[in-house]
Structure 1
């Protein structure tokens, strides 16, 4: 049921002239489901924005947050100050990191962690005597948040339009071509390139799966040219690809790993950057005059957010949820087989992790430019929440979802596609 009341709330990524008075208001959530203000239940097939991996309403997280609020509600992490939940979380993430001994820089979410990664990549080279290495390469269709550096790095062109000049020294290469990365490094000169930003599976850009061998190839290219390999695992981490961080599904050693979203199951905003020991080393010498990273968010390492994260990690471990991203990838792909053969569908992308995309045909998109949003609305009528993107819909269910929810997708999506075609013919 849409809320018809006008309201001054301004939504991200929204046509507010169309949204105001037509809101989908979520009032509660439990497990893999959410309810709207009319009391209707929906399968949350996107885990909100890719993050409710452990499901909604977990009492273990609520108890941890409540206990932390009663003991230490808030305090900063600047200079010498610390708190126990942040210290514990950093130790746990470091122990799990793809590169042993990684340092952990905490932030408020994925966007500021991406900006932190770019800053650290650049200043690392400054402090080892190579200040010309400032350029950052990323991929077409990649999404790296909406902060300054993340907007410049993002490869979804429309997301960078209309904001005036963006930070410089960024460029993009084809998302599926290691050769394009090699050529761009050679064009710029390796002596100028600091980092390559790479989502293991591109998420918001349409769930674009890497070709076989792609991740290993670009990691090796970065190694040969002394370019830092930054794995953006904000979406892919915490079980989404069936491993702790997503990038550890491949036998590579990223120099930096960005994480957020599933780190708290979305309950409280938090991000964490894993920094390989050799990149962190200049800042950890302990010598007089050692460089200081003059960067950090006010709420970085917030004790309540870190308590939520520690409780969430406990759930991943206790309930063995991390491997489910891999064990559920084929059942999810199978549930979309009916959509894959539908005349309105150009492609279904699935089979690597518990996420997928259903892309509509060019004819359908041309006949009805709002087809993706129309399909989203039709699926709401089937009791399923998906996320519309430019050419179709994406799915990323909670890791606790199971056969009944996948059966619902198997029936609801083809039925909604049939109804979509009846509106665009």
Structure 2
């Protein structure tokens, strides 16, 4: 025990001295050190270096879809590392895993989504899409179609372009200057989108981008009919529709891709996270066949965009095995079943507490609002959700909060391998934590 305490202290001090954490409070890190130092994971559980085990109710960052400790993925990576760890995809060089993964993605994405550009993650997928749509319209003789419309409360990443598309002010205010040509409209309002297009002029707009379900903005689910109308609006005004499925793809919402809930095919689909279940960094931009065909027809010379790790053979190998697991174990179906159970249990919990407001669940992505008054949805003067998730963590459950603006929300997205017993346990810990905090208010 003494040795373990010494190791924990040593690592914590090294962490404070040398590790700048992403999306974290630098002051909190320096004052308290790392919240948890993880050591291993299995299924829906993670264990820290002190032997404490937690249900990972967020699948880390919405992404460990097939759960932790999958030896199949480790074995696939090892075999590929020993064969061809890396090779460039520049200058038309290629490799078998990248070719097979591109073909696999084309076969499982909706409609005529057809050709794939690989990236290292979601922010790169977003920035790639913005460049490609602008390049596309330039090739088509409409170079003034450069503006990208996104939604308020949307999250698209933290590269300069994706930060500019993100509709959460806290992220935008970090940068002293955002990229030009990005507009934001009211979330999930077709009328607001039409108004923005009319104000700006359709001949200046390259694309409209939306998450099928807003993740970091609070797990906001669109009303029925919204995306069908958006698809019609984009067709009517000759504007490309981009679906950011970085969080929602690969079974998270109870279907393989969230766009399938509304029967629409975007012109571009952005992927990451669940494509490899976080076992290795990878992202992708998938284009419809007519876009790919036009790029071939009108391009001259080199497409001057690409990343060192575009088409990384080891990453693509892991992704292929990951998709195989998702399909063979029918994890999208399990996501729907366990999501229905989760919604049922959260709804029951709502009647047992005084501070649980709106509940939003689609598959295994969801949220609950914390409110002072359930009738009016009035919030507390001080955010309560961070206190609740801190209490939950002490009891063995990791969740996340959204506290941007007026939001006081707890969000969750457990691994898609979660079973009924684990759903029950997750909600039981949440209930204990809410009641413990509620008793102090």
The TM-score range, normalised by the shorter chain, is over 0.9
> What is the Cα deviation at residue 355 of structure 1?
1.0
> What is the Cα deviation at residue 365 of structure 1?
5.8
1:247 aligned onto 2:263: no
Q: Which has the higher helix share?
A: 2
Matches within 5 A, 1:93-242: 93-100=105-112, 102-242=114-254
Tell me the distance in 2 between the aligned counterparts of 1:328 and 1:291: 50
User: Comparing 246-255 with 153-162, which one deviates more in the overlay?
Assistant: 246-255
Tell me the distance in 2 between the aligned counterparts of 1:422 and 1:74: 56
CA RMSD, 1 decimal: 1.8
> What is the Cα deviation at residue 40 of structure 1?
1.1
Tell me the distance in 1 between the aligned counterparts of 2:248 and 2:261: 10
Q: Is the 8 A contact 2:113 2:267 kept in 1?
A: no
1:344 aligned onto 2:358: no
Which secondary structure state, in structure 1, belongs to the residue aligned with residue 386 of structure 2?
A: helix
Q: Specify every segment of 5 or more residues in structure 2 that has no aligned partner in the other structure, as ranges.
A: none
What does residue 382 of structure 2 align with? 368
> What is the Cα deviation at residue 353 of structure 1?
2.0
Tell me the distance in 2 between the aligned counterparts of 1:368 and 1:29: 34
What does residue 325 of structure 1 align with? 335
Query: Which string of whole-angstrom CA distances, capped at 9 and with x for unpartnered residues, describes residues 323-363 of structure 1?
Result: 2222332111012124433212232212x221111211167
> What is the Cα deviation at residue 102 of structure 1?
1.1
Q: Specify every segment of 5 or more residues in structure 1 that has no aligned partner in the other structure, as ranges.
A: none
1:383 to 396, 399, 402: 396
Which secondary structure state, in structure 2, belongs to the residue aligned with residue 284 of structure 1?
A: helix
> What is the Cα deviation at residue 367 of structure 1?
4.2
Matches within 5 A, 1:259-274: 259-274=271-286
2:64 to 52, 70, 73: 52
Tell me the distance in 1 between the aligned counterparts of 2:301 and 2:386: 49
What does residue 407 of structure 1 align with? 424
Which secondary structure state, in structure 1, belongs to the residue aligned with residue 183 of structure 2?
A: strand
Structure 1 residues 293, 244: closer, same or farther in 2, change over 3 A? farther
> What is the Cα deviation at residue 135 of structure 1?
0.6
TM-score, normalised to structure 2's length? Answer: 0.91
Q: Is the 8 A contact 2:224 2:262 kept in 1?
A: no
- Alignment: residue pair count: 420
Tell me the distance in 2 between the aligned counterparts of 1:42 and 1:198: 33
Which secondary structure state, in structure 1, belongs to the residue aligned with residue 423 of structure 2?
A: helix
TM-score, normalised to structure 1's length? Answer: 0.95
Query: Which string of whole-angstrom CA distances, capped at 9 and with x for unpartnered residues, describes residues 204-225 of structure 1?
Result: 1100010111111111111111
